[in-house]
Structures are given as structure tokens and as C-alpha cells.
Amino acid sequence: MMSYLWGGMIVIGIIYAAFAGNLEAVTDAAIQSAQDAVTLCITMMGVMSMWVGLMEIAKEAGIVERLSKWIGPALRFLFPNVPKGSKAEEYLSLNVIANVLGLGWAATPAGLNAMKELDGLRKQRGLTPGIATNDMCNFLILNISSLQLIPVNLIAYRSSYGSENPAGIIAPAILATLFSTVVAIVFICIVNRFCKEQRGM
Amino acid sequence: MNTLVMISNMILPVVILLIVVIGLGRKLDVYALFIKGAEDGFQTVIKIMPTLIGLMVAVGVLRASGFFDFLSWILTPVVKYLALPAEVVPFILIKMFSSSAATGLALDLFKTYGTDSYIGTLVSLSMSSTETVFYTMSVYFMVVKITKTRYTLTGALIATASGVAASVAIALWMCG
């Protein structure tokens, strides 16, 4: 899919430029953008290295683990069918905390494992394969509402494009992402009240 | 407004302090751990560099071709009642499919309009309050072979729309 997206952008850009008489500008832009990308990565290397370095300490100190234990009870409320202390609950909490801390590398594997565990629970409850359970839908909606504490990449981008206060975006960004997460939770609660599990055929 | 900036400026130092103090409290070799993690962070950036070059070139070509101006011209009548600048619409749409392509567009907007402008602020906020809806759904449902996704898409789109709405409201408030 990325091939169509990327290829499409290049093809549309060059053909449009040919008709609009902007081919010279396109030449400059192609070269300039490639250079910009490298400059940007150099800024990002500093910020990312710092953040991942700190997170390594947080991980070894058991902070990530501790935080995911704390949010267990809150999650139980959203996933009533997930048993207390189960593997599923552990992976769900870890995925949420990893997303909140901006740990992409830890979030995805935990999330995929959570899905597998939820599918195991589906089997136990005798629900039809191939149809998402309420828990799976709720988990993905929560995941997509993307709660994040510190958007490290964004801060790096903003500082390399000359922001007056790159980190000034942290609190407003938390407000925005908190709002979308609250809406997602309200949606999940309403749906869970009215939508029973669906069985096939 | 000023409180928000103050909180923003406090969060990072407080988080760093907490992590280091807890690490020292657990008698960890915090410095060695930091260096080890920093090396991983460094490698991560090197790994995403080719992607970023590819996408920034594609977006740069599109911008220079004048296609974005044409797109905004088409989109303006559609979105002008939403306080959503037409320039930001392609970013929000692409973000649902690919995070890296959206990043390319966002960086182009930062470069063209500035990070602290209304557009720059709005893009920054939407970047952190929306997710790649279609990509995430396809990856997560694929591992468990789910084809009937029921109300997931509705919920995900509602969450995305409210993230964008909150971003517009906060950006308007911050930039007057």
C-alpha cells in the first residue's frame, strides 16, 4: 500500500508540475527535502536517544511494570470479560502504559499479544471465530484514541523547525488526547450497555 | 494559557527527575542504563531515516508542484465552516492510513507556515491526539483473523473526530 501512496505522490506531483510549469521548483524541492530529512534526523537523534535512555532506566527500575499494575482496576471496568490477573489483563495494561510513555517498541508486541489472549477468551466463551468480541473492539478503540504523556517526536520536529517553545505543546497535547480518550471511553460504556456479543450464522 | 505553558515546561523535568531518583533508589547503574538506551534510540532514528527521506521528498515534490494549493482551493469551500484550514485536511486524512506519510505532510506544514502559527499548532495537536485508524485495525485484527470488526471503526472514527475537534478548539484558544 505504501508503494501506491508514495508512488502516487511522486507521479501526481511531477505530472501536475509539468502542466503548471513548476518543474524547476520540483527539482529544487526534491534535493532540498532529502537534505532537510537528514538535518531533521540529526536533531531527532539527540532527543530520541535521551528519551529512550531515560526509558531504559524506567524499565529496569520496574516503573513501567508498576504503572501497568496500577491501571489494572481501571481496565477491568472497561473489559468486564477479562479475568483479574490474567495474561490478557497484563498485556492490555502494558500496551496502554507503553503508549502513554511513547514506547512504540514495547506497545505493539504487547498489543498483539493482548489480541491473541482476547481471542483465547473468545474461544473459551464459545463465541464464533472471525467475529470481534466486545473486548477486542473496546481495546482497539481505546488504543486508537491514543493517550500519550509526552510526544517526544513532536517536540523534536518542532524544535528543528524553529519553534519558540517546542515543549510548550506538551500540556495542550495532553488535553487534546485526553479528550479523545474520554470520548472513546464514554462510547465504549454506552455500546457495552446495549450491544450484546454477536454470534455467527 | 500561561498555566498550560508552565505545566508543559514542568512535565519533562519532573518526569526525568522521578525516573533518575527512583533508579538511584533501586541502586541501579543509571548512567550505564541511560547510555544503553540512548544507543537504542540512536539506532531507531537511523532505521527510520530512509523512510523519512523518501516521504519528505514525495511531499516536497507535491508542495513545489503547486498541487497542495490546488487541493486547498478545492477543499476550502467544503471545510470553511469547520474552522479547519484546508491545508490541514490532507494531513488528517493521510494520518488514518500511514503515520510516516502524515509526518511528512506535518513537517511540510511546519516548514511552510511555522510551528507556532495556528496551522502549526493545530497540526501538532492533531498529530498527538489521532492514530492510524485503518493501519492499526488491519494489523491487530489480522493476528487473530477477525473479519467482522463490528463497531470498532465507528468508535475509532468518533475518537479521531473528537481528537481533531479538541485540537481545533485548543489551537484557536492558544493562537487567538
> What CA–CA distance (Å, rounded) separates A68 from A138?
18
B139 contact residues in A (CB cutoff 8 A) = 108, 112
Q: Judge whether A151 lies within some domain.
A: yes
Average pLDDT, chain B: 92
From A142, A183, A99, select the one nearest B161 (Cα to Cα): A183
Q: Judge whether A54 lies within some domain.
A: no
A198 falls in which pLDDT band (50, 70, 90)?
confident
Contact (CB, 8 A) for A66 and B23 = no
A93 falls in which pLDDT band (50, 70, 90)?
very high
H helix count then E strand count, chain A: 9, 0
A201 falls in which pLDDT band (50, 70, 90)?
low
Q: What is the pLDDT of residues B47-65, one digit of tens each?
A: 889 988 998 999 999 999 9
Q: Please give the average per-residue pLDDT across A168-190, as a whole number.
A: 95
Same domain membership, residue A70 and residue A153: yes
Chain B, residues 27-56, CB within 8 A of chain A, namely 28, 30, 33-42, 44-46, 48-49, 52-56
Q: Judge whether A141 lies within some domain.
A: yes
Q: Where are the beta strands (DSSP E) in B27-169?
A: none
* A vs B: CB pairs below 8 A: 343
**Cβ-based neighbours of B82, under 8 Å, separated by 6 or more:** B168
B113 contact residues in A (CB cutoff 8 A) = none
B71 touches chain A (CB under 8 A): no
Q: Crossing angle of helices A104-124/A134-144, nearest 10°? A: 170
Average pLDDT, chain A: 91
Contact (CB, 8 A) for A178 and A147 = yes
From B100, B132, B101, B105, select the one nearest B120 (Cα to Cα): B105
Q: Judge whether A13 lies within some domain.
A: yes
Q: What is the pLDDT of residues A96-133, one digit of tens each?
A: 999 998 877 678 889 999 999 999 999 999 999 999 99
pLDDT, position B155: 97
C-alpha cell at A168: 510548550
Same domain membership, residue A36 and residue A135: no
Q: Please give the average per-residue pLDDT across A78-102, as a whole number.
A: 90
Same domain membership, residue A137 and residue A81: yes
First to last CA, chain A: 32
Same domain membership, residue A99 and residue A37: no
**Cβ-based neighbours of B73, under 8 Å, separated by 6 or more:** B86
A3 falls in which pLDDT band (50, 70, 90)?
confident
Q: What is the pLDDT of residues B133-167, one digit of tens each?
A: 998 999 999 999 999 999 999 999 999 999 999 99
Give the range of the structural domain holding residue A3, as residue numbers without chain letter: 1-43
Domain count, chain A: 2
